[in-house]
């Protein structure tokens, strides 16, 4: 069954998230035992807020996940295009070498950006030779289609698009994980005896499971700290560096001497954004 979500629903829930986030100071170190009705109500409300934030995270991921992947692909195409230009100017032609290299990078990126469904594996474990060849051809085609001069305005537009799409997701996930980090510290048996709501108890169970499973991942990091900067920080740092790569007259045309450096910088951004997007997807899958 297809889930339909209306923009006004998401916008309203995002406003709610802003409101409850500003009203809540996370208690990440000590959680007092449930000994009064007021504390029990507070626990129930906290669990319901986390539950609502999970629904919001699901809606926003379904709505924006593909567009975020598309922007990363656009960034990667810019880097590939600049690399191809540089290789043509050197007049070095090794049959099949360039296409294979670009195709390989694009194939890996394509696999990593494969669409994700709830409960499905994020990266395919087996990729046929036909798919890799197809990805390589697509990469060459994309680079050819984007081989026009790279202008600053286009790059800034991509930065803005990605930032607009990812900030709400990272803010929502931060609220969820902070709330879960508090909920998981409670004694669920004691909560049950105190009369906590069944849905609130389920959320406490989920919180314990999320943190336990995430600590067993290869990164060995806390769920609340994915490692590395959030996407917004990565984009802001990248945007601050743009002026040094473009001409001083109009500030839009990429300096010829900087094409290689800029290509490497864009490729670094692609890798970092992709890593963070995969983290957002891993948490999405874990919540299911």
Q: Per-residue pLDDT tens for 208-244? A: 888 887 765 544 344 544 445 689 999 999 999 999 9
**Residue 101 confidence (pLDDT) above 50:** no
Q: Is the pLDDT of residue 46 over 80?
A: yes
pLDDT value of residue 24: 65
- The reported pLDDT for the residue numbered 92 is 38
The predicted-structure confidence for 150-194, as pLDDT tens digits, reads as follows 889 999 999 999 999 999 999 999 999 999 998 888 777 787 777
Residue 275 has pLDDT above 80, yes or no: yes
List the chain domain ranges: 7-75+149-287
pLDDT given for residue 9 in this prediction: 86
Q: 3-state class of 29 per DSSP?
A: coil
pLDDT at residue 133 above 90? no
Looking at residue 192, what is its pLDDT?
76
pLDDT band at 58 (very low <50, low <70, confident <90, very high): very high
Whether residue 3 is predicted with pLDDT greater than 90 in this model: the reply is: no
Which among 19, 20, 13, 22 is positioned nearest to 58, based on CA atoms?
A: 13
What is the model's pTM? Answer: 0.72
Q: Give the Cα-Cα-Cα angle 150, 154, 158 (nearest 5 degrees).
A: 125
Residue 193 CA to residue 172 CA, distance in Å, equals: 31
What's the length of the chain?
288
Decide if pLDDT at 122 tops 70. no
């Amino acid at each position: 069954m297809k889930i339909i979500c209306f923009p006004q629903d998401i916008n309203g829930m995002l406003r709610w998230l802003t409101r409850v986030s500003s009203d809540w100071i996370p208690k990440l170190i000590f959680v007092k035992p449930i000994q009064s009705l007021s504390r029990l109500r507070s626990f129930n409300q906290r669990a319901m807020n986390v539950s609502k934030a999970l629904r919001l995270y699901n809606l926003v991921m379904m709505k924006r996940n593909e567009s975020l992947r598309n922007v990363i692909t656009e960034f990667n195409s810019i880097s590939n295009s600049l690399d191809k230009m540089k290789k043509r100017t050197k007049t070095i032609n090794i049959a099949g070498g360039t296409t294979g290299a670009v195709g390989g990078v694009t194939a890996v990126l394509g696999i990593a950006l494969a669409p994700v469904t709830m409960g499905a594996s994020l990266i395919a474990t087996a990729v046929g030779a036909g798919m890799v060849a197809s990805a390589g051809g697509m990469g060459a085609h994309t680079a050819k289609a984007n081989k026009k001069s790279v202008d600053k305005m286009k790059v800034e537009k991509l930065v803005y698009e990605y930032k607009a799409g990812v900030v709400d997701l990272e803010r929502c996930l931060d609220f969820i994980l902070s709330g879960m980090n508090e909920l998981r510290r409670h004694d669920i048996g004691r909560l049950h005896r105190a009369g906590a709501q069944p849905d609130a108890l389920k959320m406490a169970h989920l919180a314990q499971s999320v943190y336990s499973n995430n600590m067993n991942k290869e990164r060995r990091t806390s769920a609340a700290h994915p490692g590395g900067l959030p996407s917004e920080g990565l984009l802001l740092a990248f945007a601050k560096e743009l002026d040094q790569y473009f001409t001083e007259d109009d500030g839009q045309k990429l300096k010829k001497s900087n094409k290689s450096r800029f290509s490497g910088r864009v490729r670094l951004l692609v890798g970092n954004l992709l890593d963070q997007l995969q983290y957002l997807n891993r948490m999405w899958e874990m919540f299911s």
